[in-house]
Amino acid sequence: MNGEVLRKAVELAGFCIKCGFCEPVCPTILAFKNSPVYGPRGRILLLREIYRGEFPLNERIRDPYYSCLNCKACYEVCPAEVDVGEISSEMKKLIQLKGLAHALSYVVRDVFQLYGNPLGVKVSNNEISEILPRRGKYTLFTGQLYQLMGYADRISSILDLLREHPSLLNVSTRSGLSSIFLKFKGASHAFIESILCISKLLRGRDVAYDPSADFYSGIFLYDLGFEEVFSEHAKKVFNELKERGITKVVTIDPHTTYALLSLYPRYVEGFDIDVTYYLELLDDLNLKVVGEISVAYQEPCYLVRHLRLSDIRSILESVKGLSLEKVRTSCCGGPIEYLYPERSRAIAKTRATELSAGGKDLFITACPVCMSNFRKIALDPLDISLFIYRNLS
Amino acid sequence: MKEEIVREASRIVGWNNVLLAPEELVPFRYDASEFKGELPSIVVMPENEEQVSELMALSYDKEIPVVLRGGGSSLTGASIPAFPNTMVISFSNMVKIHEVNIIDSYVFVEAGVRLDDLNAYLSQYGYMFPPDPASSAVATVGGCIAGNSGGMRGAKFGQVKNWVLGLNAVLPGGDVIRIGGKTLKIRQGLDLVSLIVGSEGILAAVTSAYLKIWPAPERIARVLAYYDDLSYLMQAVTKLRESKLVPLVMEFLGEGLLDAVRRVYGDVIEAKGRNLLLIDIDGPEESLRRYVDKAIEALENEGLILYKIPETPEEMERAYLARRAAFPSSLKIRKKPSERVLVSDIVVPPSKLIPTIKEIEAAIDRSGLRAPIGGHVGDGNIHSDIFYDEEDEDEKRRAWKLLEEMAEIAIKYGGSVSAEHGIGLEKRELLKKEMKSKGSLKALEIMREIKKIFDPKNLLNPGKVI
Ligand SMILES: Cc1cc2nc3c(=O)[nH]c(=O)nc-3n(C[C@H](O)[C@H](O)[C@H](O)COP(=O)(O)OP(=O)(O)OC[C@H]3O[C@@H](n4cnc5c(N)ncnc54)[C@H](O)[C@@H]3O)c2cc1C
């Protein structure tokens, strides 16, 4: 099994010639003190040494792969089209199989298995039900990511505590710990507001909502390398949707959309649910702003690079009076917030500077993970749904 | 490595700028070549010249070999440790652009600045640093000075050596030298700047440089001309050179490379024609049409299949990217991941391109290997990517032999074994061969003596070049 995963990773890296074009665009190298093993070329070089048995398969190999954001910045510039995000995903699987992952990741898995989502919080979706009908051609599938990210600010403090006292993460105390997460109540309002806005935007477009058919996608489990747990969960979600006769779902965030569009078909045999990202249903928008406004837009990498979906940039560019600088897409650092909070914030800071986010009238994003991560560095991005909703003419 | 040395190095640059963990050291065993170096004992990333100087003093004092590292994109193993117990000094933290002076035509930069970043910065002023190796996204000022790099604009602007006005550098032992200056002309006794340029990190660590800059071309026209028969393409190159036009770029992609590039850039690369000649002509709006007509006249011969002039900026950019991506794209057509590539980098006087290419093609045929050719043909520089399976000893031997044969062909026509990639670990023997054929082994002796003066303990990038 180990050998198989390694071989697959090596095959994925096969055509890399170590030219290093990927290094200048990788957000993690810079955040990890310019150490190239925290960048695409370094990850491949380490992998090849592991494969040849020159570097031991021990816990030292963990951070280089777990720190990968899978943002595909490297893939975009790689002349040999090597996808280091995919390679890191394979390596995470291997690291999990060998039991070398972060203790914290096992907490996430345990909590997830107990409560159906990685934070163990109880997500309430009643307000959406008040906005959208019960039946329709499409069914809204929030994937609960906006809701969960609403708790992220609060949960950070306990994670910091766990990091400072790793002994708390002993296997014997893990399940006890899980219950601590349940104590968190009340998500941050900004995230709830986004979901409600999205729901309102979808009103009258044949989109229904059934709270009993709205599950967490399992994406974080996949990101942590728990392939089997993810795969089981994906099958379960598929069956639940099928049982309710749901054939077309509408997703609202980049990560859930990626899970359903790209991963579920890989892990669930016969997955035949039609998945549409909500902005694709809103192709008739007519937006107006008052006066002149300058906007910084954080383009979610999962949306544009993984999914090549919905050109929000052009929606914004078409608004009269709105000025938007062209800045290359780059990750906010959010995907590694849980395991490497400081590095993740460093990436957010660099990104905010690139976007001159602080100096614009509005800072917009379309991803709850970006939103949450920028909030940690005292910025307050506005979700694209709110911008659209407020400026519909 | 002794703890005392690690402690001292860390004191100099700060713990945050030290890499010691084994996994963090792994990438420094490699560059873009097929060589694998020794695992360094420590990597340090100084933030300024004083720190470089202290590190070089420490290395000297404790007799620790040092390898200097920029972007690590060397194709000849120049930036990897040839010996164990090495300290790598990486310039990734020295990325300041200190000053741009338009009147005096220079930019003053630190060694770790990447060329693309430098040019993005200069473009705000309507200027550029002309040498543009295809690796400019990753290659640094220090690496390009040490490598005397060339690039696509070499047809008009030559190599880095034409563009370095002054250098600040640290010698083994820690002494700092300031050579050349910020003036466009200078006579300072023996020209040490030229000695350091191209020295592949064996003489001194460049910390910052005054580089000459040039106004960015006012307008560029790009012409893509396709030929089936390579000798007709080379004939066009000769004609172009005779025409007194000095194209900004004159690049050719031979069959194997063109096929590889076509797969990704099929939108801008025509389906017909086995070989491509890409030229850029720059000039003021008013004269450009005339220049292009003149170029086309030179390109037209009975072997020309067709030519295209991309119109939109997007098309032009795509065509340029296609050329830049040629080498890496060719790697995608490898049959299996264990296939490796040796890159030949010969140069001949452009007037000898036709016979050179003929002989090279024959040598490739004899070798039975795949070795697509291409290059910066405007200045007589031909690259060939020689593929071999590293698990097949016989193929490997034949690949090295082909590399050597190509070098011999270059020498025969009055050229050289390396135009721009340098000697590194790869071409030491070939360099010897070239000097011997010129009856100039003495020159190598002088180089070795010079090395001793700069680096009496042979600590700086030992095992490379000479
Ligand atoms: C895809 C690809 C395309 C390429 N195309 C070209 C091309 O068109 N033209 C061309 O000329 N080359 C080309 N190269 C080769 C290479 O990229 C260049 O030679 C480049 O200049 C190396 O720069 P670097 O910063 O990566 O240097 P490195 O690889 O890090 O180092 C190269 C040499 O410079 C020394 N060095 C680095 N920094 C310093 C310093 N501060 N002071 C003193 N010595 C130093 C090193 O010790 C080493 O000997 C290409 C490489 C690749 C992978």
Instruction: Tell whether A123 and A219 lie within a shared domain.
Output: yes
In a domain, B227, yes or no: yes
In a domain, B463, yes or no: no
Instruction: Tell whether B55 and B187 lie within a shared domain.
Output: yes
Alpha carbon of A119 to those of A71, A173, A334, B395: distances in Å? 23, 17, 16, 56
Res B440 pLDDT > 80: yes
In a domain, A226, yes or no: yes
Res A246: pLDDT: 96
Q: Which of B329, B345, B365 is the last residue of a domain?
A: B329
Instruction: Tell whether B26 and B174 lie within a shared domain.
Output: yes
In a domain, A196, yes or no: yes
Cα(A365) to ligand 1 centroid in Å equals: 38
Q: pLDDT > 70: what percent of chain A?
A: 90
In a domain, A169, yes or no: yes
Domain count, chain A: 3
Residue A124 binned pLDDT confidence (cut-offs 50, 70, 90) = confident
Residue A122 binned pLDDT confidence (cut-offs 50, 70, 90) = confident
Q: Which of B198, B216, B234 is the last residue of a domain?
A: B216
Res A233: pLDDT: 97
Res A154 pLDDT > 80: no
Interval A46-64 mean pLDDT: 95
Q: What is the pLDDT of residues B61-102, one digit of tens each?
A: 999 999 999 999 999 999 999 999 999 999 999 999 999 999
Instruction: Tell whether A211 and A274 lie within a shared domain.
Output: yes
Q: List the structure tokens of A125.
A: 């979706």
In a domain, B19, yes or no: yes
- The answer, yes or no, to whether any atom of ligand 1 lies below 6 A from the CB of B32, is yes
CATH number, domain of B346, equals 3.30.70.2740
Interval A62-70 mean pLDDT: 97
Res A185: pLDDT: 56
In a domain, B456, yes or no: no
Res A169 pLDDT > 70: no
Instruction: Tell whether B436 and B305 lie within a shared domain.
Output: no
Instruction: Tell whether A140 and A32 lie within a shared domain.
Output: no
Q: Which residues pair with B382 in a beta bridge?
A: B346
- The answer, yes or no, to whether any atom of ligand 1 lies below 6 A from the CB of B140, is yes
Cα(B138) to ligand 1 centroid in Å equals: 9
Lowest mean pLDDT, pick from A178-187, B80-89, B136-145: A178-187
Residue B193, min C-alpha distance to chain A (Å): 28
Rounded CA-CA distance A27/A235 in Å is: 33
Rounded CA-CA distance A124/B118 in Å is: 52
Res A29: pLDDT: 97
Instruction: Tell whether B208 and B306 lie within a shared domain.
Output: no
Q: What is the pLDDT of residues A232-283, one digit of tens each?
A: 999 999 999 999 999 999 999 999 999 999 999 999 999 999 999 999 999 8
Res B197: pLDDT: 98
Taking all residues of chain B, what is their mean pLDDT, rounded to a whole number? 94
Res A167: pLDDT: 66
CATH number, domain of A83, equals 1.10.1060.10
Res B324 pLDDT > 90: no
Q: What is the pLDDT of residues B268-320, one digit of tens each?
A: 899 999 999 999 999 999 999 999 999 999 999 999 999 999 989 889 999 98
In a domain, A59, yes or no: yes
Rounded CA-CA distance A264/A267 in Å is: 5
pTM strictly above 0.90: yes
In a domain, A286, yes or no: no
Res A161: pLDDT: 66
- The answer, yes or no, to whether any atom of ligand 1 lies below 6 A from the CB of B139, is yes
Place of tokens 């031991």: A56
Strands of the A207-208 sheet, one edge to the other: A207-208, A138-141, A248-251, A274-277
Q: What is the pLDDT of residues B38-67, one digit of tens each?
A: 999 999 999 999 999 999 999 999 999 999
Residue A3 binned pLDDT confidence (cut-offs 50, 70, 90) = confident
Instruction: Tell whether A112 and A70 lie within a shared domain.
Output: no
- The answer, yes or no, to whether any atom of ligand 1 lies below 6 A from the CB of B327, is yes
Interval B161-185 mean pLDDT: 97
Res B30 pLDDT > 90: yes
Q: Which residue of chain B is at minimal alpha-carbon distance from A10?
A: B337
In a domain, B453, yes or no: no
**B139 touches B133 (CB < 8 A):** yes
**A212 touches A132 (CB < 8 A):** no
Residue A155 binned pLDDT confidence (cut-offs 50, 70, 90) = low
Instruction: Tell whether A54 and A178 lie within a shared domain.
Output: no
Residue A181 binned pLDDT confidence (cut-offs 50, 70, 90) = low
Lowest mean pLDDT, pick from A14-23, B20-29, B133-142: A14-23
Instruction: Tell whether A33 and A130 lie within a shared domain.
Output: no
Res A1: pLDDT: 60
Res A359: pLDDT: 92
Residue A37, min C-alpha distance to chain B (Å): 5
In a domain, B462, yes or no: no
In a domain, A48, yes or no: yes
Q: List the structure tokens of A177.
A: 């710990």
Instruction: Tell whether B44 and B191 lie within a shared domain.
Output: yes
Give the domain range for residue B174: 1-216
Instruction: Tell whether B202 and B237 lie within a shared domain.
Output: no
DSSP letters, A209-267, are: --GGG-----HHHHHTT-HHHHHHHHHHHHHHHHHTT--EEEE-SHHHHHIIIIIHHHH
Pairing of strands A207-208, A322-324: unpaired
Q: Which of A70, A97, A124 is the last residue of a domain?
A: A97
Interval B196-208 mean pLDDT: 97
CATH number, domain of B184, equals 3.30.465.10
Rounded CA-CA distance B131/B154 in Å is: 6
DSSP state of B29: G
In a domain, B73, yes or no: yes
Instruction: Tell whether A195 and A117 lie within a shared domain.
Output: yes
Q: Which residues of A touch B (CB under 8 A)?
A: 10-11, 13-15, 17-21, 23-24, 33-37, 41-42, 45-46, 49, 55, 60-61, 63-64, 77-81
Helix axes A171-182, A103-115, angle to 10 degrees: 50
Q: Which residue of chain A is at minimal alpha-carbon distance from B17?
A: A33
Cα(B149) to ligand 1 centroid in Å equals: 7
Res A157: pLDDT: 64
Cα(B310) to ligand 1 centroid in Å equals: 31
Res B442: pLDDT: 96
Instruction: Tell whether B363 and B418 lie within a shared domain.
Output: yes
In a domain, A216, yes or no: yes
Instruction: Tell whether B282 and B304 lie within a shared domain.
Output: yes
Residue B349, min C-alpha distance to chain A (Å): 29
Q: pLDDT > 90: what percent of chain B?
A: 87
Residue A172 binned pLDDT confidence (cut-offs 50, 70, 90) = very low
Helix %, strand %, coil % of chain B (to 5) = 40, 20, 40
In a domain, A287, yes or no: no
Look up residue B449 and give its amino acid.
Answer: E
Domain count, chain B: 3
Q: List the structure tokens of B433.
A: 């061969």
Instruction: Tell whether B82 and B141 lie within a shared domain.
Output: yes
Task: Tell how far CA B340 is from the center of its chain.
Answer: 19
CB under 8 Å to A261, separation ≥6 — which residues?
A275, A307
Closest in A36, A60, A80 to B21, CB measured: A60
Nearest protein CA to atom 28 of ligand 1, as residue:
B72
Q: Provide ipTM, 2 decimals.
A: 0.93
Instruction: Tell whether A269 and A129 lie within a shared domain.
Output: yes
Cα(B420) to ligand 1 centroid in Å equals: 9
Instruction: Tell whether A114 and A187 lie within a shared domain.
Output: yes
Instruction: Tell whether A268 and A356 lie within a shared domain.
Output: no
Residue A107 binned pLDDT confidence (cut-offs 50, 70, 90) = confident
Question: A23 and B334 in contact by Cβ < 8 A?
Answer: no
**Ligand 1 atom nearest residue B31's Cα:** 29
Q: What is the pLDDT of residues B214-263, one digit of tens each?
A: 999 999 999 999 999 999 999 999 999 999 999 999 999 999 899 988 98
Instruction: Tell whether B103 and B239 lie within a shared domain.
Output: no
Q: What is the pLDDT of residues B95-124, one digit of tens each?
A: 999 999 999 999 999 999 999 999 999 999
Strands of the B275-283 sheet, one edge to the other: B304-308, B219-227, B275-283, B249-253, B373-375, B381-389, B339-347
Instruction: Tell whether B270 and B170 lie within a shared domain.
Output: no
Instruction: Tell whether B291 and B345 lie within a shared domain.
Output: no
**B224 touches B308 (CB < 8 A):** yes
The strand ranges marked E within B143-218 are: 164-170, 176-180, 205-212, 214-215
Instruction: Tell whether A238 and A180 lie within a shared domain.
Output: yes
Q: Which of A261, A281, A301 is the last residue of a domain?
A: A281
Alpha carbon of B214 to those of A164, B117, B125, B166, B357: distances in Å? 54, 16, 10, 16, 33
Closest in A11, A63, A77 to B337, CB measured: A11
Instruction: Tell whether A256 and A121 lie within a shared domain.
Output: yes
CATH number, domain of B293, equals 3.30.70.2190
Interval A329-343 mean pLDDT: 94
Kindly list the residues from chain B whose CB atom is less than 8 angstroms away from the CB atom of residue A13: 337
CB under 8 Å to A331, separation ≥6 — which residues?
A27, A69, A71, A73, A301, A347, A351
Give the domain range for residue A144: 106-281
Q: Which of A39, A73, A97 is the last residue of a domain?
A: A97
In a domain, B455, yes or no: no
Residue A81 binned pLDDT confidence (cut-offs 50, 70, 90) = confident
Q: Which residue of chain B is at minimal alpha-carbon distance from A23?
A: B138
